[in-house]
Amino acid sequence: MGVAMSKLVEKREEIAALIAAELGLGDPAGLSEADRAALDRQTSEAIERGALETDEPADGTEAGTQLRQRLQEYRALRELRTDEADARLAEQGEVFGREDDA
């Protein structure tokens, strides 16, 4: 697992912990399998929504602000990972532009 990938995993766990706290679930490590699956779904949804929303905190609370910040950090790490993959391809002679992805 690459450095960017492990940082993505770590950031996702931080997001999950904030969501768990917001939902009153406590520590994600102590959740039942069903609760953890539900938390994972909520985390995935928050990450996807976070990529579409503005930078304003949804609810103005500290927890909402922290969650928004973690979502922004996750998005930045994901973009960095994509950029690193593009750079590796370019080094291997697979030079292309994003417009070539169509």
Q: What is the pLDDT of residues 7-59, one digit of tens each?
A: 999 999 999 999 999 999 999 999 999 999 999 999 999 998 875 554 444 55
DSSP 29: G
pLDDT the model gives residue 57:
46
Q: Is residue 42 part of a domain?
A: yes
Q: Is residue 100 part of a domain?
A: no
Structure tokens at 88: 């590796």
Q: Is residue 28 part of a domain?
A: yes
> Domains in the chain: how many in total?
1
Q: Is residue 26 part of a domain?
A: yes
Distance CA 102, CA 99 (A): 6
Task: Map tokens 């950029």 to a residue.
Answer: 83
| Amino acid at residue number 26 | G
Q: Is residue 12 part of a domain?
A: yes
| Domain interval for residue 27 | 3-94
pTM over 0.85: no
Distance CA 1, CA 81 (A): 12
CB-CB contact of 39 with 13 (8 Å): no
Structure tokens at 81: 């990972």
Structure tokens at 27: 């520590």
Q: Is residue 99 part of a domain?
A: no
Q: Is residue 22 part of a domain?
A: yes
Average pLDDT, the chain: 80
pLDDT over 60 at 62, yes or no: yes
Distance CA 52, CA 74 (A): 13
High-pLDDT (> 90) share of the chain, %: 44
